[in-house]
Structure 1
Amino acid sequence: MLKHMEKLAELKRAKLLALSLLLIAAAIFITTLALPPSPWVGALKAISEAAMVGALADWFAVVALFRRIPLPFVARHTAIIPRNKDRIADNLGRFVEEKFLDTPSLVALIRRYQPALMLGNWFSQPENARRVGQHLLQVMSGFLELTDDARIQRLLRRAVHKAIDKVDLTQTSAMMLEGLTRDNRHQKLLDSLINQLIALLQRDSSRAFIARGIVHWLETEHPLKAKLLPTEWLGEHSAEMVTDAVNTLLDEVTHDRTHQIRQTFDRAVQKLIDNLKSDPDMAQKADNIKAWLKNDETFNHYLGEVWGDLRGWVKNDISSDDSRIKQRIAEAGQWFGETLLRDDALRESLNEHLEQAAHRVAPEFAAFLTRHISDTVKSWDARDMSRQIELNIGKDLQFIRINGTLVGEPSACCCGCSRRSPRCCICILVSNDTIRTIALINIPQGGRDDAQDFPLAEPTRRRAVLPGGVNSV
């Protein structure tokens, strides 16, 4: 509001200055009419007359932009901005689209400023990384507050249930398994599992666990034999035999890519994929799982408790001054920035992806922004828009009036000083947006009294100022 008042005051001062200069020129002109003829009175009269012509012409040019001037033949060419509001809106939107949002301009902008490098420099500053962390915490806090609302919780629950309904568990699982079997990746998974089993069996705790199992089996299934035989010794040695046998088998599977166990594993995986794709029983089981996920009260109650605990922990953490989440986000942001600065290939790749995104997104984004600009300007009231434009640039436009007044004065002097010019001297003057032509038409010399009307020229009997102001004696 304060800025608005300041602009309004500046506009009023500029208008007052332009009007004052016009009134001064008019006062001088009227004064010269009352003075006795003399060379300097004639010169002063011509100068003030030219100043008034320039001031009035530029006043018309400036005012015609914003308001209607009720003059015959020209009124329909005034109030230019209010009359052409919609056309201005369309042209403004088109100008922004063609000059700022076209794809080549956006790509050139990306190449010029290297956003990946700028991003790296910005994120590598600890203060900036902390600021990002703080903003993300505010977003998280707002989201958590939102989820406290029972209506939002119901909405989220319905959204989750709808998402579960849309998921085809059998087909999705089949696709995942097919992806897993591509290039024998499932065999690599089997190798990893075998290595984990070998490492597990080599532990003393695993052998002791197997020994206890054997002893327990003897005491349960053969209690009489257990009393007669050294069960502890049998258990330990049996555990060693079992683990050695299993290790030998697993080692064979590891080194033999065509082992029977591997082939059996291949067939089992492929059969599972086929069943997931076409077996009605599998589809029914998948539907039962989805129904259980949605309707089982115990499971949903458990999920609710887990979510409540997690939400409470996050809220307590982000409200503390030494938030661990904030620290982790800041550390991640700083690491990202430093990585971008170190890795030239990563920066180049990121910039290339941004350029590709500009090619894909720029046309739609430009069209959207163009429509937004055009529709917004069209929705404005024509008079309000005109007032706002005048308020913001009207002060500078008033200097057109001021310049018209001031330029008119030396113009008259320049044309008057062309006393040694050809018989017909024409001066074409450009004052801002108005072209004025002042012609001094020299007629064969007459008496001295005639020359006093315009003393700076050759003695004349007639002086004319062509359009822009017409003067005659």
Structure 2
Amino acid sequence: MGVFTAADEERQRGVRRMKTIATGALALMATVFVLAKWAQSAGAGSWTGYVAAAAEAGMVGALADWFAVTALFRHPMGLPIPHTAIIPTKKDQLGRSLGDFVGENFLSGEVVRSRLSAVGIGSRLGAWLAEPDHAERVTAELATALRGALAVLRDSDVQAVVGEAITRRADAQEIAPGLGTMLEKVVADGGHRRIVDLVCVRAAEWLEVHSDSVMDAVTGGAPGWTPRFVDRKVGERVYRELLRFVTEMRDMPDHPARGAVDRFLSDFAHDLQTGQETRERVERLKREVLGRGEVQDLIASAWNAVRTMIVAAAEDERSELRVRARAALLSLGARMAADGRLQGKVDGWVEGAAVYVVTTYRDEITSLITETVAGWDAEHTSKKIEAHIGRDLQFIRINGTVVGSLAGLAIYTVARFFGV
């Protein structure tokens, strides 16, 4: 047990005061007994016998209770009398008994389930959550816990876990068939045509602006023995044909090239689903992409962005996250307060969880009590316990003195009545 606190010192002073009073009562009985016997020997009258009997019995009661109270904490008068100093010498046994008592009477499944069933947690929790102030309080506590959890987590650890999870999930599942199915549906719905339109428009605009680049590319690849003007003519012809082809493809929805693109994408979608070679190439490409540092950096940046967004939303009382959480709690509270079936489910969940905990970890909980008591210093434990309950125990001594004297007086009176 820990060192004496200021409260313990105050309790100890109270114990000493009560000890003084109890000892004073014993001294008073002894004084009265001596005076009564002196008066009796002096022929003061029959009343002295009554007083002496009461005082004598009061002393006996006081001494007996002093012995009993003292024997709890130490050997009376320092004598190693058997079955004394009970708390210091039986501390470990008391700890085991206390642990067994708690386990049998407080940590049994029947007791826990009966108590929780009587409480009605579902209805009480529902009524409590249905109050806006309470829902706001829970939302604030959840936001604080969320911020704390995100602050404790190390970015490198989270990034490693997320990256590893994504990589493992991607490795475990072949993506080519899924891509093929998606591409097949996109082509069937004509969703790719906007992309083709955009490519054609951008290609036509680029050719109109960069005609010199096209002709330079053509002339640059021509043989060195052809005349320059011939190369120039060929470049111009190639440029015009390219521009015409792209323009027609842009302006004609039924252009043959568009149909060729449709057939190519359809065939590619089919190969992704059934072509073994195509599927193996996609898998190799997938592994190469996932293994690149840029992808891992993307995962890291995504986690940082998500964390920043969540923290900001948790801190802002008007954020959509907290508004929705508050509304969800209020709605849940209202349902729990009014829906008996939901209350029964909540009660069942709580009771089941509590019973599981106490039945599974009962030995660990009781061993905690036993080991804690066993680790206490015997003398210090005795003083600590005495400081807490010693004042009440001193009342036992006082009561023993009073009751003993009354009992002695009654016995003496009865004996005198019958002439004993």
TM normalised by structure 2 equals 0.70
Secondary structure at 2:361 match in 1 = helix
Query: In structure 2, do the counterparts of structure 1 residues 382 and 160 end up closer, same or farther at CA, with 3 Å as the change threshold?
Result: farther
C-alpha separation in 2, matches of 1:212 and 1:291: 32
Query: In structure 2, do the counterparts of structure 1 residues 210 and 314 end up closer, same or farther at CA, with 3 Å as the change threshold?
Result: closer
1:392 maps to amino acid: H
Q: Is structure 2 residue 136 aligned with structure 1 residue 136?
A: no
Query: In structure 2, do the counterparts of structure 1 residues 328 and 208 end up closer, same or farther at CA, with 3 Å as the change threshold?
Result: closer
- The structure carrying a bigger helix percent of its residues is 2
Q: Which residue matches 2:53?
A: 46
C-alpha separation in 1, matches of 2:245 and 2:322: 66
Report the Cα offset of residue 75 of structure 1. Answer: 1.1
Percent identical pairs in the alignment equals 26
C-alpha separation in 2, matches of 1:164 and 1:222: 44
Query: In structure 2, do the counterparts of structure 1 residues 396 and 226 end up closer, same or farther at CA, with 3 Å as the change threshold?
Result: closer
Q: Is structure 2 residue 367 aligned with structure 1 residue 371?
A: yes
Query: In structure 2, do the counterparts of structure 1 residues 168 and 325 end up closer, same or farther at CA, with 3 Å as the change threshold?
Result: closer
Q: 1:32 aligns with which of 21, 29, 36?
A: 36
Q: Which residue matches 2:67?
A: 60
C-alpha separation in 2, matches of 1:79 and 1:224: 109
1:101 maps to amino acid: L
Report the Cα offset of residue 310 of structure 1. Answer: 4.0
Query: In structure 2, do the counterparts of structure 1 residues 117 and 287 end up closer, same or farther at CA, with 3 Å as the change threshold?
Result: farther
Q: Which residue matches 1:418?
A: 414
Q: Which residue matches 1:85?
A: 91
Q: Is the 8 A contact 2:163 2:299 kept in 1?
A: no
1:378-401 CA deviation, whole Å, 9 max, x = no partner? 111111221221111111111111
Query: In structure 2, do the counterparts of structure 1 residues 217 and 158 end up closer, same or farther at CA, with 3 Å as the change threshold?
Result: closer
Q: Which residue matches 2:207?
A: none
Query: In structure 2, do the counterparts of structure 1 residues 349 and 317 end up closer, same or farther at CA, with 3 Å as the change threshold?
Result: closer
Q: Which residue matches 2:237?
A: none
Q: Any gaps of 5 or more consecutive residues in structure 2?
A: 205-239
Q: Is structure 2 residue 98 aligned with structure 1 residue 102?
A: no
Q: Is structure 2 residue 131 aligned with structure 1 residue 112?
A: no
C-alpha separation in 2, matches of 1:301 and 1:226: 41
C-alpha separation in 2, matches of 1:144 and 1:372: 32
Q: Any gaps of 5 or more consecutive residues in structure 1?
A: 181-188, 247-260, 420-455, 461-473
Query: In structure 2, do the counterparts of structure 1 residues 14 and 220 end up closer, same or farther at CA, with 3 Å as the change threshold?
Result: farther
Q: Which residue matches 1:402?
A: 398
Written as runs of structure 1 = structure 2, the 5 A alignment for 1:260-339 is: 291-292=291-292, 296=293, 298-319=294-315, 322=318, 325-339=321-335
Q: Is structure 2 residue 35 aligned with structure 1 residue 23?
A: no
Alignment RMSD (CA, Å) = 4.5
Q: Is the 8 A contact 1:123 1:333 kept in 2?
A: yes
C-alpha separation in 2, matches of 1:109 and 1:318: 36
Written as runs of structure 1 = structure 2, the 5 A alignment for 1:160-199 is: 167=168, 169-171=170-172, 173=173
Written as runs of structure 1 = structure 2, the 5 A alignment for 1:169-248 is: 169-171=170-172, 173=173, 223=244, 235=253, 238=254
2:12 maps to amino acid: L
Report the Cα offset of residue 139 of structure 1. Answer: 2.3
Query: In structure 2, do the counterparts of structure 1 residues 415 and 170 end up closer, same or farther at CA, with 3 Å as the change threshold?
Result: same
Q: Is 102-111 or 130-139 further displaced after alignment?
A: 130-139
Query: In structure 2, do the counterparts of structure 1 residues 284 and 106 end up closer, same or farther at CA, with 3 Å as the change threshold?
Result: farther
Written as runs of structure 1 = structure 2, the 5 A alignment for 1:443-458 is: 456-458=416-418
Q: Which residue matches 1:347?
A: 343
Query: In structure 2, do the counterparts of structure 1 residues 69 and 223 end up closer, same or farther at CA, with 3 Å as the change threshold?
Result: same
Q: How many residues align?
A: 365
Report the Cα offset of residue 127 of structure 1. Answer: 1.9
Q: Is the 8 A contact 2:159 2:303 kept in 1?
A: no
1:140-199 CA deviation, whole Å, 9 max, x = no partner? 33334435xxxx44455555566678x46554x38x99xx9xxxxxxxx99xx979976x
Q: 1:7 aligns with which of 4, 11, 15?
A: 11
Q: Is the 8 A contact 2:127 2:337 kept in 1?
A: yes
Query: In structure 2, do the counterparts of structure 1 residues 286 and 307 end up closer, same or farther at CA, with 3 Å as the change threshold?
Result: closer
Report the Cα offset of residue 212 of structure 1. Answer: 8.1
